[in-house]
Amino acid sequence: MDHSAEYTKAKALPQLSTTLTPDVFIAGSGPIGATFAAELHRINPKLKILMTDIGGLDTAVPGSHKKNSIDFQKDIDRFVHIIQGDLSTVSVPVTNVPVTNADPEVFLPWYEDIKVKIGTDPNGRASKWFVRNNQNPEQKPEFNLGAEAVTRCVGGMSTHWTCACPELHPELERPRLEADDDKNNAEWTKLYKRAKELIGVGDTQFSESIRHQLVLDTLIKEFPAVGQIPPREFKALPLACERDTDDPRYVTWHSAHTILKTLGAALKVDEEEVVRAGDFFELYPNTRCTRVWQLPNKGEIDFVECTRLRLGKVDTNVQVKAKVYIIAAGAVGTPQILANSFFAKEQELPALGKYITEQTMAFCQIMLYRDLIAGVREKPKPEWQKRVEDHIRDFPLDPIAMPFDEPEPQVTSPISKEHPWHTQASYSNQNSRRIHRDAFSYGKVGATIDSRVVVDLRFFGRNDPVETNTLTFSNIHRDGYDMPQPTFHFQMTAHSRKESGLMMADMTNVATKLGGYLPGSEPQFLEPGLALHLAGTFRAFQPGTKANPPNPSDNAKDFSVVNENSQVHGFTNLFLGGNGIIPTAFAANPTLTSMCYAIRASTVIAEKAK
């Protein structure tokens, strides 16, 4: 398709200022966009970096975690509503149930006389339903990831994420970056080490907690690693946070801001809410990255078109000309920008939005057995004894002998080939188990139940990447930000469905070792998409493997969007980042792995942006 007319028109768009000519442009201010910025600055401090985010500054400290507020440290259950408010569902099928009891004279679009006036869709069907707030006439409910959502603000989902940062299993989950096994393992070891340093990952932040030790000790006793065949491991969950040294009751949860702090210059916000660090970094919030523009007849991006959405610059189109362009706007937002761009036929991306994966999620809440709670009072461990005695002295009427602000448990059972139900599954579908007490968009503890006795169990299962599972973008409908409306077509394979059943059985087995079910939170599968770990939407090529999933074509472009360095196929200066890049099925949290891809790509990008 010839886009010369559109290109000429876009070239004439007014620039916001002469300062928008950076060396590197980054769309997206979440932890992956922040990783690109931090690594590029570390490699070459002279690079000028410009970042945009479609969302605003929701926190006083740009991109910081909202759970650091003292309100939520005191009462974690209140954080549920923060998460619910921050998540915007991506695709909502329109209802086909008419409102028949309304006043006959109000506007109801299915009346015959109105159909003629409002026209028909491209298939000749009359439009009957209201389309707003991401309602999507193209979405078939049975194929939807109904709970899939995005967060639009500076820092993205890292402003409210769980901060869980496990590594993907090298054989069961992790993608390949190098064809040679030794080189591949060495590369991942190096990248994971750097990613953990950037976001600040540890596994001892909750080791002193009575609740944490109680749950961990119980599970180790019930599932002994020694003498059990095959063995099973329970250990502390790796978390991106740090316990405050001045007051150990509180935790500082890490986020995109943690990474941006490594830029080495203070983040300052001006009167138009532009965030700056020194003279080398700018972040424009409330700024939509609309599309990238390809140079005619070349596999090169000439500029990116953005729109400032407020602060006196309403609908102000902006051209940003850079040497290198990075789109890290999320698993939905990144392919959405590409789908809204104009590419020459030879640069089109056939694998965009194909082979998508999303985790199956099983959930329950249990109330700890009475003998476990009684044991805290009657047989406290030496490291607990003083806290238990002080609490009994200060609160003699409290039936639970542990401080009210005792930190929650954070325990995981990592993926392992030796685990029984893993052993019963094939190599391509594994599950991770995470046991912890935390707030999310489900599982709010009732006011009549003491949260100190409640533990959440969340089991995440993998889904096989298949070509028929897709994320597409409408040529007709637009979302609330005037971008192409996303539509899902997602179904689990027979293999994944079977594995999910085994996962549920395993979760109930673990649950019964700890306690009884909290009424209303019995074991259940949650709505597809609620894990919020969508991947594969712009998947990476894996060196040393055949097309994954198998594809008869030898053309990497048919089954991947970027190469192993996150560079878009057919383009010299366009790179992508985020969970959408992960091409394999995985069950663990993907953020750390996506950061690894960004760290690796930054070396290549820095060279191109000299």
Annotated catalytic sites, by residue? 533, 589
Of 159, 242, 263, 250, the closest CA to residue 200 belongs to 242
Q: How many residues does the chain have?
A: 610
Q: 281: alpha, beta or left, given left = phi > 0 and alpha = psi -120 to 50?
A: beta
Distance CA 455, CA 445 (A): 10
- Phi first, then psi: what are they for 476, rounded to 5°? -115, -55
Q: Of 306, 384, 372, whose CA–CA distance to 341 is shortest?
A: 306
- Asked if the peptide bond before residue 230 counts as cis, ω within 30 degrees of 0, the response is yes
d(CA 105, CA 571): 56
- Provide the strand spans (E) within 446-573: 454-461, 470-478, 484-489, 515-517, 524-525
Q: Are 481 and 288 within 8 A, CB to CB? A: yes
Identify which of 573, 600, 598, 538 has the alpha carbon closest to the alpha carbon of residue 25: 573
Question: 576 Cβ partners below 8 Å, 6+ apart?
Answer: 326, 327, 328, 334, 538, 561, 562, 566, 568
C-beta separation of 456 from 470 below 8 A: no
Compute how many other C-beta atoms are within 10 angstroms of the C-beta atom of residue 350. 14
127: its two tokens: 């439009």
Rounded CA-CA distance 275/281 in Å is 8
* Greatest alpha-carbon span in the chain: 80
CA distance 222 to 509: 11
Pairwise CA distance, residues 282 & 129, whole Å: 42
Q: DSSP code of 579?
A: G
Q: What are phi and psi of 207, to 5 degrees?
A: -65, -25
Cα 300 to Cα 78, 278, 296, distances in angstroms: 48, 29, 8
Cα four-point dihedral sign 393, 398, 402, 408? negative
Q: How many helices (H) and strands (E) does the chain have?
A: 14, 26
Cα 47–Cα 48–Cα 52 angle in degrees, nearest 5: 130
CB 187 within 8 A of CB 177: yes
CA atoms of 300 and 278, how far apart (whole Å): 29
End-to-end Cα, the chain, rounded Å: 33
In this structure, which amino acid lies at residue 187? E
Beta bridge partners of 149: 89
Edge-to-edge, what's the strand order for the sheet holding 301-308? Answer: 287-294, 301-308, 316-320
